[in-house]
Amino acid sequence: MVTAVAQEKKLLRGFDGGMMVHTGYLSGNLDAIGYQAKGAPLGIGGVIRLHLGDHFRIGSEGYVSTLSQRSNGSYLKYGWGGLLADFYKVIGRFQPYAGLTVGGGAMTTLLMFEEPASAWAAVDGTVFHKQGFMAIDPFVGCDFIVAGPMHLTLKLDYLCALSESKLLPNGPRVYIGFLFYH
């Protein structure tokens, strides 16, 4: 009888993972050049998590997000990822969750303030900068259980840079994707 109870109480209950695309609205001032960046980013990434017990998951996630600027090929692009922990609860076919990712990444900025005179000509007034950052990323979301191992997920987050420069334009992002459970 003790053996049966121990088997039912195992810690690792499974895992899940999948891909998500995202958009949202970001804004922020790049103080070093006096530029106000704003707009809707587009990005893609993924998550993988281990299920511990009945309501807790740990894992990691990573994404790349591009915020196009000035309609001339200028952009702010950042990749970030980290370790996450979240809590979830299954309610019928829905599985709401909330958690936090701690990690970091790098932002690459390419801004062209002048137009080239001709194709392949050098462009004056161009700014390029790449800088790493540490970040926390609180999130909430909800899975819809389509069938057994396949879930659709909808997630909302707010990436917050912890670096002293606060270099990231910030704002909410919304993610949609497919997850597979085992």
How distant, in Å, are the alpha carbons of 7, 11, 12, 52, 96 from that of 3? 6, 15, 17, 20, 33
Nearest Cα residue to 45 out of 150, 160, 173, 181? 173
In this predicted model, what pLDDT tens digit does every residue of 100-124 receive, in sequence order? Answer: 999 999 999 999 998 877 888 888 8
In this predicted model, what pLDDT tens digit does every residue of 4-42 receive, in sequence order? Answer: 555 567 888 999 999 999 999 999 988 888 899 999 999
How distant, in Å, are the alpha carbons of 4, 126, 178 from that of 147? 29, 50, 12
Look up the pTM and report it: 0.88
In this predicted model, what pLDDT tens digit does every residue of 68-98 receive, in sequence order? Answer: 999 988 999 999 999 999 999 999 999 999 9
- pLDDT category, 161, cuts 50, 70, 90? confident
